[in-house]
Amino acid sequence: MFIPKYPDSPTSPAAHTHPHTPTETAPVRRSLPSVSIDQKTVVALVIGGVVLTALLAAVAVTAISVAVAAVVLRSMLRDHRR
């Protein structure tokens, strides 16, 4: 049902026994290239993901800390000017 219909390949007239008899040709099936992933690759990817996640978390914590320090300093300077 889901197999595509391919047109018959053109052949010479001498190959046909009868001019109205179609020739049956099987469609060419191409397989996908196989990807082999070994254990070392998986471990390297997991470690890389953990390192990148830790770096992202460190940047986020640093940004929050700087924002809090800026708010505190601004509050202290505003109170000092009054």
Q: Rounded distance, CA 3 to CA 29, Å? A: 11
Q: Which tokens in the block code for residue 38?
A: 């070994």
Query: What's the rounded Cα separation, in Å, for the pair 42 and 36?
Result: 11
pLDDT at 37: 81
Task: Give the per-residue SS3 of 13-47.
Answer: HHHCCCCCCCCCCCCCCCCCCCCCCCHHHHHHHHH
Radius of gyration of the chain (CA): 35
Tell me the pLDDT band of 17, cut-offs 50, 70 and 90.
low
pLDDT band at 67; cut points 50, 70, 90: very high
**Mean pLDDT calculated for residue range 10-27:** 60
Mean pLDDT, residues 41-70: 97
